[in-house]
């Protein structure tokens, strides 16, 4: 934190290169609303970067698909698309930034034992009240005040099985649907092998196209 005006006790809180207020706007633009999970995640990412050697090349391993991956993608070069961010959903609000070669890194987690001073964050985190009853202004205030103080850190080493990246293999044309698919999936694509994620319905748009409706047990993050 930087003390901006000691007489007025105005404090500028930073998350990487953003002020807290600037990061709120970035989150709103990217995520659709001021998700407190991403704001807290921003402090978590900032803390991990502070504890890691400068100039290193790091990957990220996130333990939840909820909100935290967005903070990682907004504040580091690690994204799901470029393969530097891996999400393993074990349900903990935590992530690790680690050296690509050695696996050595810093794990940062939201520590429930440190939430007693921040009742609105605690109520949000443990879902003690419905979302419509949450006080957003209070949540933002507590998130800004708490910063990384509600987090714990650990030095860890990510094992090879989670560091090894699967490279893109050869593709072929599925004999059933005539679309491209990875050859490693078998003689036909996974959809045609029984893993459909939608069902086709007739379309009345020029009589040529079909509409699709999701019909699957898969739950998006």
**Within this chain, do residues 7 and 55 fall inside the same structural domain, yes or no?**
yes
**Within this chain, do residues 62 and 145 fall inside the same structural domain, yes or no?**
yes
**Within this chain, do residues 201 and 135 fall inside the same structural domain, yes or no?**
no
* Residue 129, φ and ψ in degrees, nearest 5: -145, 150
Max Cα separation, the chain? Answer: 74
**Within this chain, do residues 67 and 175 fall inside the same structural domain, yes or no?**
no
Residues near 109 by beta carbon (within 8 Å), at least 6 away in sequence: 44, 92, 93, 94, 151, 152, 153, 154
Does the residue 94 lie in any domain?
A: yes
What does pLDDT average to in each consecutive run of 10 residues of the chain (221 residues)? 40 91 96 94 97 91 97 96 95 97 96 97 95 93 97 96 79 91 89 80 61 45 38
**Within this chain, do residues 91 and 187 fall inside the same structural domain, yes or no?**
no
Q: Where are the alpha helices (DSSP H) in the chain?
A: 20-31, 36-51, 68-75, 119-125, 136-146, 160-163
Q: What is the pTM of this model?
A: 0.80
Q: What CATH number did the domain enclosing 87 receive? A: 3.30.1330.130
Are 195 and 208 within 8 A, CB to CB?
no
Q: What secondary structure, in 3-state letters, does 31-76 show? A: HCCCCHHHHHHHHHHHHHHHHCCCCCCEEEEECCCCCHHHHHHHHC
Does the residue 147 lie in any domain?
A: yes
When divided into structural domains, the chain yields a total of 2
Residue carrying structure tokens 């520590």: 111
Measured CA to CA, the distance from residue 28 to residue 181 in angstroms comes to 36
Report in angstroms the alpha-carbon separations of 188 from 180, 191, 196, 215.
Answer: 9, 8, 12, 20
Does the residue 220 lie in any domain?
A: no
**Within this chain, do residues 40 and 127 fall inside the same structural domain, yes or no?**
yes
58-62 and 85-87 beta bridge pairing:
parallel
Measured CA to CA, the distance from residue 106 to residue 127 in angstroms comes to 27
**Within this chain, do residues 97 and 195 fall inside the same structural domain, yes or no?**
no
Cα 146 to the center of its chain, rounded Å: 20
In which domain, by residue range, is 181 found? 171-214
Does the residue 178 lie in any domain?
A: yes
**Within this chain, do residues 144 and 202 fall inside the same structural domain, yes or no?**
no
Are 13 and 1 within 8 A, CB to CB?
yes
SS3 161: helix
């Amino acid at each position: 934190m930087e003390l901006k005006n000691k007489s007025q006790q105005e404090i500028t809180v930073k998350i990487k290169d953003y002020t807290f207020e600037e990061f709120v706007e970035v989150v709103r633009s990217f995520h659709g609303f001021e998700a407190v999970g991403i704001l807290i995640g921003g402090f978590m990412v900032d803390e991990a970067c502070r504890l890691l050697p400068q100039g290193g090349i790091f990957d990220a391993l996130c333990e939840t698909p909820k909100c935290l991956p967005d903070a990682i993608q907004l504040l580091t070069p690690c994204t799901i698309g470029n393969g530097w961010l891996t999400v393993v959903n074990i349900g903990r609000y935590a992530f690790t930034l680690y050296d690509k070669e050695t696996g050595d890194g810093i794990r940062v987690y939201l520590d429930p034992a440190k939430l007693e001073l921040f009742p609105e964050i605690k109520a949000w985190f443990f879902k003690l009240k419905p979302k419509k009853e949450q006080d957003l202004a209070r949540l933002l205030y507590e998130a800004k005040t708490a910063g990384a103080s509600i987090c714990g850190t650990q030095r860890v080493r990510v094992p090879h099985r989670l560091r090894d990246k699967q490279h893109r293999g050869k593709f072929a044309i599925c004999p059933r649907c005539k679309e491209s698919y990875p050859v490693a999936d078998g003689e036909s694509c996974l959809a045609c092998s029984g893993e459909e994620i939608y069902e086709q319905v007739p379309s009345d748009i020029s009589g040529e196209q079909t509409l699709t409706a999701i019909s699957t047990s898969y739950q998006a993050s």
